[in-house]
Amino acid sequence: MAARLQDSDDELSENSEINVTPFIDVMLVLLIVFMIAAPLATVDVPVELPRSNAKAAPREGKPLFLSIGRDLGLKLGNDPVDPAALGAALDQASGGNRGERIYLRADRRIDYGEVVEVMNRLRDAGYAKVALVGLDAGR
C-alpha cells in the first residue's frame, strides 16, 4: 500500500493508484525463465528415415510441369513463361482449373528463396496444389 503526504494534513492517507512495479518485476522474471526454457524444449534427434519402395501413384491426365532453370527462367512444360504472365499461362494450360496440381521442378543449384518466390507467385495466381519434383534416390 502506498502513502502520499498532503500539504494540509500531516496524516498519511491511502493511495488508490495501482503500483505496477511488482507486475513489471514478475513479467521480467517470466521473460527470463521462458528465454532459458525455450531452447531446451526443442527436440533435435537425428533420425535416419527408411527408403520407400512403394510404387508411384498413377497420374490423372497430362500433368503441368513448371520448371525453374539455373538462369531462374520459368518454363511451363517446354515453353518459356514470363514471371509476370505466369497466372495467365497457367490458366490457359489448365483450362482455368485452379484446383489442378502443378508439378514444380527446380535446378539443384538455385537458391531456395527463388523456389519459394515462385511458389508464392503460384499461390497468388490461385494455384494452391503444388508438388515438388525430385529424382528418386535409388536411380
Where do runs of H (alpha helix) occur along 1-139?
A: 21-40, 86-94, 112-124
First to last CA, the chain: 77
Please list the pLDDT of the chain residue by residue as tens digits (139 residues): 555 555 555 567 777 788 888 889 999 999 999 898 887 776 555 656 567 676 776 766 788 889 898 888 899 888 889 988 999 999 998 888 888 888 888 888 888 899 999 999 999 999 989 888 877 665 5
Q: What pLDDT, on a 0 to 100 scale, did the predictor assign at position 120?
A: 93
C-alpha distances in Å from residue 71, one per residue of 32, 60, 107, 109:
47, 31, 9, 10
Q: What pLDDT, on a 0 to 100 scale, did the predictor assign at position 110?
A: 87
Q: Tell me if residue 85 falls in helix, strand or coil.
A: helix
Closest CA to 117 of 84, 90, 139: 84
Q: What pLDDT, on a 0 to 100 scale, did the predictor assign at position 37?
A: 85
Angle at the Cα of 71 from the Cα atoms of 68 and 135, rounded to 5 degrees = 40
Task: Report which residue type is found at 101.
Answer: R
Q: Which fold has domain 64-132?
A: Nucleotidyltransferase; domain 5 (3.30.420)
Q: What pLDDT, on a 0 to 100 scale, did the predictor assign at position 18?
A: 80
Task: Report which residue type is found at 45.
Answer: V
